[in-house]
Amino acid sequence: MTNSSRPVAVFDLDNTLADTAHRQRFLERRPRDWEAFFAAAPQDPPLAEGITLALRTAEECELVYLTGRPARCRRDTLDWLAAHGLPAGRLYMRSDGDRRPARVTKLERLRELAGDREVRVLVDDDELVCQDAEEAGFTVVRARWASPSAALRDAQEREGRT
For 21-46, the pLDDT digits (tens) are 999 999 888 898 989 999 999 999 99
For 143-152, the pLDDT digits (tens) are 999 877 666 6
pTM: 0.89
Beta bridge partner(s), residue 115: none
Q: What mean pLDDT is predicted for residues 50-75? A: 96
Beta bridge partner(s), residue 127: none
In the prediction, which pLDDT does 3 show?
47
For 105-128, the pLDDT digits (tens) are 999 999 999 999 999 999 999 999
> Mean pLDDT, the chain, as a whole number?
91
Cβ atoms of residues 29 and 23 within 8 Å: no
Which position has the higher pLDDT, 72 or 152? 72
* Cα angle: 121, vertex 60, 134; to 5 degrees: 10
The residues, ordered by sequence, that sit 6+ positions from 21 with a Cβ below 8 Å of its Cβ are 146, 147, 149
pLDDT band at 63 (very low <50, low <70, confident <90, very high): very high
| Angle at which helices 102-114 and 127-135 cross, to 10° | 40
pLDDT of 154 > 80? The answer is: no
pLDDT of 2 > 50? The answer is: no
pLDDT of 59 > 60? The answer is: yes
Identify each DSSP E strand in 13-139 by its residue range: 62-70, 90-94, 119-124
Cβ atoms of residues 26 and 34 within 8 Å: yes
pLDDT band at 1 (very low <50, low <70, confident <90, very high): very low
